[in-house]
Amino acid sequence: MIKILIINGPNLNMLGLREINQYGKISYDDLCNLIKTHSKNKVQIEFYQSNIEGEIVSRVQEIIDQDIDALIVNPGAYTHTSIAIRDALAILNIPKIEVHLSDINSRENFRKTNLITDLCELSIIGKGANGYIEAIEYLYEKN
């Protein structure tokens, strides 16, 4: 069974409370439970969420010494600003899938800058919670 780490960035812990027109009413706990329920017989899932850039960088770096087979990452707003997270992701030699709940390409102009997409083998954008499920299915089928 493959082990997938899902890293979520800032404000994802506020799902269901923020910008419901963009992110929907699903809470972060509901999102995690949906993913766990879908994945329980297919893959092993670990979740990590932080609002702090350096903590995300440290968690990405820790993957090097752990038994993690793939990474699903939603850096949130750091997608558009964090060279540090990009540099950490570049170190990893495991499959990396980028997921964004909203369609960042059709939102504000500053969200169109994406510093990680070229480091990921697949980008799933604008599919809400189903984007995570699609990423898991992709990784499951690949292995």
Sheet with 3-8, edge to edge strand ranges: 44-49, 3-8, 70-74, 96-100, 122-125
Q: At what angle do helices 130-142 and 28-39 cross, to 10 degrees?
A: 30
- Nearest 5 degrees, angle CA 33-CA 115-CA 65? 60
- Domains of the chain, by residue range, sit at 3-73+87-142
Per-residue pLDDT of the chain (143 residues; tens, 9 = 90+): 999 999 999 999 998 887 777 677 889 999 999 999 999 888 999 999 999 999 999 999 999 999 999 999 999 999 999 999 999 999 999 999 999 998 887 777 777 789 999 999 999 999 999 999 999 999 999 88
Where in the sequence numbering do the catalytic residues fall? 23, 100
SS3 28: helix
Q: Which residue has the tokens 């299915």?
A: 137
Q: What is the pLDDT of residue 87?
A: 98
Note the helical H segments in 65-129: 83-91
**What predicted TM-score, i.e. pTM, was given to this entire model?**
0.94
Which residues are CB-neighbours of 58 under 8 A, at least 6 positions away? none
What is the CATH superfamily name and number for domain 3-73+87-142? Dehydroquinase, class II (3.40.50.9100)
